[in-house]
A and B are shown apart, each in its own frame.
Chain A
C-alpha cells in the first residue's frame, strides 16, 4: 500500500508549491558584500570565541586566493557576483523550543512546504532552519536520555566545544575548494549531531530549511559525529521560493563515523531554477564503519555536488546513491568521490540522471584505490535518461586503481523514453505528461526505494512537478 499512497499523492500536486515568498523582515542583516567586517558581524551576533573568529578570517583569505574552478567546471560560475550577496540574515530571535513559539509566518511556510501534519507533530525531534537561524529546535526527551546531541551548529560550537572542535574542518579542510573556504568564512546554521557509542537512533533526524531572501546566500555547516557502534539517519530537504536573480547556496557537510558506526545522510533537494548550489559533502569512515549518501537533486541553476567517503579503517564501506533531474536552464553536475585508504574497503556508486528540455546532467566520479592496499572493491553504475534530443548528458568517471588485488566494475548507460512506449501508455488512457512521468519514475524507481517513505512520496511528486510542461 505504500506505493499506493505514493502515486495518489503524485497526482494531488499543488503546482504553486515552492513558488512564493513572504515579505522580508530581518532583525539582523550583515548587508551586501563580503569582507573581514562581514565575518566580524556574524561572529559578533553569535557571540563566538576567538578561535572560530580566527578560523573565519583565515578561511576568507583562502577563499580570496583560490581561483574559480572554471578550468574544469562550468563557466556559469563566473556569473556569481560575490559582492552582491548578503551573507547573514536572521530573525534575531533565539531558537524557540515549542511549536507555539514559532512565528506565524514561519509556520505558514511550513504549511506551504506541505510538511505532513504528523511530521509537524514530530518536529519535536526536528531542527527546522528558517534562513540562517533555527526558527525552531527542540530535542526530544529520548535523545537527552541517550545522550544524543542534535542542535544547530552555533549552539554546538557554544555548548559542546570539546567534541565540535575536535572534528570541525577535519574531514573537509577550509582549503579543499573555493566554496568550502567561502563556507568556512561565513557559515551559519546547519546541524551539529553527536551520537554516543552504541546508541542506535530510531527516528531519522530531520532538518527543513529554505532560502527566503533575495540575493541571500545560505551557508550552513553540518557536522555529524557518530561514535563507536552507533547509528543515525539524517534527512535534509530543501525548497526555495522563486526569485528573479540568482541566489547562492554553499554548504559544507562533514560526517565522522567512528569504528563500526553507521551514518545515512539523505537529501532531497528542490531548488528554484536561479539558485547556485555548490556543496561540499564528505564523510570519514573508520574501521568497519558505513557511510551512505542518498542524494536527490532537482532544480537549481547549477548544482555541483560530489558526496565523498574516505574509508580510513579496514572494512569500511562507502556508498553514494544519487538521482539528478535537470530541466531547461538547469545544470546538474553531480557525482561521487570514493577514497579507499585501508584494506578490504568497499564502495558503491549508483547514479541516475534525467535530462529534459535543454537540461544538462553531468556525472563526475572519482574512485581512488592506492597500490599498497589489498582486497578493495568498487562498483560504479551510472545511467542517464534523455527526454528529448536537445538535452545533454556527460559522464566523466575517473577510477584510479593501482595494484592488482582489487575488484572494480563500472557500467554506464544512456537511454531515451521511446515514443512507442509513450504511445502504449497513452492508449491505456494516460495523458502524455502522465505517461512520461510514469516512465521517468520507473527509471529511478529502484533508487527511490532507498529513500524513507515520506521522501519517496515527495520525490515522485517533485519529479511529476518537473515533468509538467516539459512535454510536447
Chain B
C-alpha cells in the first residue's frame, strides 16, 4: 500500500498516477501495434482518443443522471475534475458505442477495431491492478501461504499483486497473439481470447479477495459478473476461430 509519495512539497497520489500512466502507455502501445491488428495507426489513434473523450463525457453524464439532486444544488460541479463524479459503467458503454459508430464510419468491422484497442485494454488492466495495490484495496483473505503479506492485522493473500502479475501475463499473450495473427484473420482474433483470459483471471482473484461484495447466498458479486463474460468470450472465440477461419 503506497497511496502517496512525498517529494519535498510535492505529494504524488500513486494510485491515480499509476492509472493515468497505464492509460498513456496503453494508448502508445495500441498505436504502435495497430498495423499488427491490420489497421492504420491514424485510425486507431483517432478512434481511441475520441472514444476516451466520449467515455469521460458519458461517465459524467450518467453520474449526473444518477444523482440529479446533487448537481441541481451545485451546477458547477458538472465541470469538476473529480474522478469520483464519474460512472464507470456509463463511461465504458459510451466509449464502446462510439467505437462501434467510428468503425462503421471508417468502413471497418467493429471486432477489428476491438482487436486494435486490445493492447490498450491489456495495459490498463495491469494499471488497474497496481492502482488497487497502491490504494490498499482489493486485499486478500487471511492466508498462511509463505508469500502472504501482513495487512490489517492478518497475513493475507496479496490479491492485487496476483492480479497485476497475471494481467502482465495476459499482456504478453496479447502481444504474441498479435504477432502470430494471420493476414486475413477474422475480427476478434485478439479481443475474444483477451476477454476470456481476463475474465478467467478475475474469477480466480475475486475468489481470494477479503473485501469482496457478496450476495445474500455468499456468492461474490465479481463472480456473478465475470462468469457470463467468460462464457460469452469462450463462445465467441470458438465461433470466429473455427467457423469464420475454417470457412
A, B from the same assembly: no
